[in-house]
Amino acid sequence: MKRVAILVSGGGSNMVALARSMEGDHPARPVLVLSNDPAAKGLERAAAMGIPVAAVDHRPFKGDRAAFEAALMEPLLAAEPDVICLAGFMRILTPGFTGRFAGRMLNIHPSLLPKYPGLHTHQRALDAGDTEAGCTVHEVTEVLDDGPILGQARVPVLPGDDADTLAARVLVQEHVLYPAVLRRYVSGDRTPVSL
Ligand code: GRF
């Protein structure tokens, strides 16, 4: 049984989708939900699902990323994860951290990478006049929002869309894509998922 740790910063809707997908006949189980924000709603939702939770507040570390990551590493390593899923995790990780988990850390990003790495992806797609948008699950490397693509889901940009309506349409697909990618990934299958 593969052990999956999920890192969140906010509501954790992707975490919920991943955790639900691992109930029943699945080669993996969630063993920890970890956040940089002790008040993250995702922690409450995970606890309500019976998943162990932990939080390391990044604010006291005042930009000392290495020190924050050393503290984050403690509960994470204690859970002995085989795979780490970043799911709405909003802190940039240093090569020291990403290198430690190279080849077994995934992230979901709300754009069709390599377009729009970074923030405000939906507004940038709208500003560019794109007729299509979506989300990407990729392996995490030391380069932000880069790394081998493991799956993508596409949605139409509709007339009258704003960043919120587009984000909502993409988020629905995130909750389908990430569980589909994770299932293949923990089975050793790297065939990209295309939705
Ligand atoms: C989602 O759009 C995800 O792609 C981005 O953070 C947003 C919120 O994710 N990384 P969640 O609801 O906290 O999973």
pLDDT tens readout for residues 157-195: 999 999 999 999 999 999 999 999 999 999 999 999 999
In the chain, pLDDT over 90 holds for what percent of residues?
98
The predicted structure's pLDDT at residue 63: 84
Q: Identify whether 109 is a catalytic site residue.
A: yes
The predicted structure's pLDDT at residue 78: 98
pLDDT at 79 over 90: yes
SS3 content of the chain, % helix, strand, coil (to 5): 35, 25, 40
- Classify 46 in phi/psi space as left (phi over 0), alpha (psi -120 to 50) or beta: alpha
Residue owning tokens 């991943």: 18
Which DSSP state fits 96?
H
Rounded-to-integer distance, Cα 36 and Cα 119, Å: 18
pLDDT at 107 over 90: yes
CA torsion through residues 34, 148, 116, 154, sign = negative
For ligand 1, whether the C-beta of 134 sits within 6 Å is no
Residue ranges of domains in the chain, CATH in brackets:
2-189 (3.40.50.170)
pLDDT tens readout for residues 7-53: 999 999 999 999 999 999 999 999 999 999 999 999 999 999 999 99
In the chain, count of helices (H) and strands (E)? Answer: 6, 8
Q: For 51-79, what is the mean pLDDT? A: 97
- Amino acid identity of 64? D
For ligand 1, whether the C-beta of 52 sits within 6 Å is no
Q: Ligand 1 center to residue 137 CA distance, Å?
A: 12
Residue nearest to atom 1 of ligand 1 (CA): 88
The predicted structure's pLDDT at residue 159: 96
Q: Ligand 1 center to residue 75 CA distance, Å?
A: 22
How many other CB atoms are there within 10 angstroms of residue 103's CB atom?
9
For ligand 1, whether the C-beta of 10 sits within 6 Å is yes
pLDDT band at 57 (very low <50, low <70, confident <90, very high): very high
Q: For 84-88, what is the mean pLDDT? A: 98
pTM of the model: 0.96
Q: Ligand 1 center to residue 13 CA distance, Å?
A: 7
Question: In terms of DSSP H, where are the helices of the chain?
Answer: 13-21, 41-48, 65-78, 95-100, 121-127, 163-186
For ligand 1, whether the C-beta of 106 sits within 6 Å is no
- Classify 94 in phi/psi space as left (phi over 0), alpha (psi -120 to 50) or beta: beta
The predicted structure's pLDDT at residue 176: 98
The predicted structure's pLDDT at residue 53: 98
Q: Ligand 1 center to residue 29 CA distance, Å?
A: 21
Atom of ligand 1 nearest to the CA of 16: 14
CA 111 to chain centroid, in Å, comes to 13
The predicted structure's pLDDT at residue 157: 98
Atom of ligand 1 nearest to the CA of 110: 4
How many other CB atoms are there within 10 angstroms of residue 147's CB atom?
21
Residue 60, exposed/middle/buried by CB under 10 A (0-12, 13-18, 19+)? exposed
pLDDT tens readout for residues 134-164: 999 999 999 989 999 999 999 999 999 999 9
Beta-bridged to residue 8, according to DSSP, are 35
For ligand 1, whether the C-beta of 111 sits within 6 Å is no
For ligand 1, whether the C-beta of 171 sits within 6 Å is yes
The predicted structure's pLDDT at residue 175: 98
Catalytic residue among 58, 109, 122, 175: 109
